[in-house]
Amino acid sequence: MDFLGAYRVLRVSDPDGPEPEPGQFAMLAAAERWGGGEDERPYLARAFSFARNSGGESHFLLEDVGPGTRRLCELRHGDALWLLGPLGRGFRPPLEGGARAILVGGGVGIAPLAILKDALGDRATALLGFRDGARAQGAALMRDARVATDDGSAGYHGPVTRLLDEELRRDARTVVYACGPAGMLEAVRAMCEERAVPAQLALEAGMACGFGACFGCVVRARDGSYLRVCVDGPVIDAAALERVEEHAGAPA
């Protein structure tokens, strides 16, 4: 377990597991003490995006926000973990022809952008937003990222979408990749729609299964149909959504 300010990087040894695509996720649960106590119901497994996969290890970014994530944050070297994945549809790389990639992340939503940045290298510009300086230390997951904080304690003082606005004003020939809180994703979606910039949004929602059986993570599409975040996403074209609803954003 590595520490990045308010976050933890859970490093899971999985040398025989399939290699995830950027944007895919796994369902995680501690092998022991995974529940509310004696005679109480076990917790549901939690969905986490792959932040990195290298050398037989998968990395996941955690924040202690409740009993389930707290238990995962307590794991130490040698503890067993239940992992189901990789699951879902990941990001699609930008087409050849000069379009650059802008990665926009907020809070723990920066996780799938880290593995995407690994794949794209210098072709990608990373813009990361956080609530405060303690969380801004999570930017260490990526090289050369521009940082914004709500309280101004690190980097630019203001929402990360202002940094995106600057980049799009400078050159709109780009593809935007984003993951973060619902409010941030909706701002990115609207901004890209106004400028006719293609965008791919990694959504998160409460999941009981992770593979499409429970229909607990549906979001409404622009055409009136419903999409399951776990199998139709989590990465969904922004153009397919009329708006990003609050329940579909990555938790803060």
Asked if 198 and 175 touch (Cβ cutoff 8 Å), the reply is: yes
pLDDT range class, residue 31, cuts 50, 70, 90:
very high
Say which residue, 209 or 153, is predicted with more confidence: 153
pLDDT at 123: 84
pLDDT(252) > 70: no
Task: Kindly state the average pLDDT of the residues 153-175.
Answer: 94
Cβ-contact 158, 148 below 8 angstroms:
yes
pLDDT of res. 7: 96
| pLDDT value for 250 | 45
The answer for residues whose C-beta is within 8 angstroms of residue 28's C-beta and 6 or more apart is 10, 45, 46, 47, 48, 60, 72, 81, 82, 83
pLDDT value for 216: 80
pLDDT for position 1:
82
Provide mean pLDDT across the span 145-172. Answer: 95
- pLDDT at residue 204, rounded to an integer: 79
Taking 60 as the threshold, does the pLDDT of residue 249 lie above it? Answer: no
Whole-number mean pLDDT of the chain? 91
pLDDT at position 145? 96
Q: What is the mean pLDDT of residues 38-48?
A: 82
Residue 38: per-residue pLDDT:
67
pLDDT in the model for residue 98: 67
What is the average per-residue pLDDT within 153-173? 94
Token pair of 22 as six digits: 């950027």
Whether residue 36 is predicted with pLDDT greater than 80 in this model: the reply is no
Say what the pLDDT of residue 246 is: 75
- Residue 25 in tokens: 């996720």
CB 152 within 8 A of CB 201: no
For residue 247, the model assigns a pLDDT of 62
**Residue-level pLDDT at 115:** 97
pLDDT level of residue 251 (50, 70, 90 thresholds): very low
Q: Going from the N-terminus, what domains does the chain have, and what CATH number goes with each?
A: 2-87 (2.40.30.10), 100-248 (3.40.50.80)
Decide: 239 and 198 in contact? Cβ < 8 Å. yes
Least confident window among 49-58, 137-146, 202-211: 202-211
Residue 191 pLDDT exceeds 50: yes
Query: Cβ atoms within 10 A of the Cβ of 81, count?
Result: 19
Q: Between these two residues, 221 and 213, which has the higher pLDDT value?
A: 221
Q: Report whether pLDDT(219) > 70.
A: yes
